[in-house]
Amino acid sequence: MVAAALQGLHIVGRRRNLPNRFPRLAGYLHGEILPRIRRRAHALDVGRWSPLIDATLPSLADLEEDPGRTTVLHADLYRENVPFDWLARPRLIDPLPMLGDPAFDWAFWTVYYDLGHGTSGRLTAASRVSRIPVPVLARWCRLLALDGLLFYAETGDPRAPRMTEVLSDLSASTRRSGT
């Protein structure tokens, strides 16, 4: 149900002729996320996670959006931002709206909606509903999982090992599929 609601947002976002007042995902990606990942990867002592981080970083270097898919993004799809109304319909609240590739939203939902639980099932559902291939979504998932892992490591968050498992599983499953 959440996947259907997210797809609905993306469809409406593509069809509307909205003014360009929302920030662009490209600016967030190249101005914040990637520099933050690089800074944390070099500044933090990540110990046993270093091989996983080092293996993931090169695959993100040329990550780019598909301009043909540009739409309005929610960009903050944690479970607590998806309550259900009295008719059991999901409501997407508290967005961080921007314009960009919906692969970002699908990856965010895949990684963070229920961290460490059902990730591969959400990735499959995201691909099926969005019609974005799993290898494309998986790269965005690895980006967000790596960013999350480094944040958790920097702040001493106890979810760091769980995020490591998510990143490791995403990396292993995409290696098996040849991407």
**Residue 157: which CATH number?**
3.90.1200.10
- Residue span of the structural domain in which 48 resides: 2-176
pLDDT of residue 176: 47
Label residue 65 left, alpha or beta by phi (over 0 means left) and psi (-120 to 50 means alpha). Answer: beta
pLDDT 10s digits, 106-157: 999 999 999 999 999 999 999 999 999 999 999 999 999 999 999 999 999 9
pLDDT 10s digits, 95-107: 999 999 999 999 9
What is the pLDDT averaged over residues 15-39? 88
DSSP alpha helix (H) spans, 21-97: 25-28, 34-43, 50-60
pLDDT of residue 172: 81
Q: Which 8-state DSSP code applies to residue 32?
A: I
Number of domains comprising the chain? 1
pLDDT of residue 59: 86
pLDDT 10s digits, 41-53: 999 999 999 999 9
pLDDT of residue 34: 96
pLDDT of residue 174: 53
**What's the chain's average pLDDT?**
92
pLDDT of residue 19: 61
Residues in the chain: 179
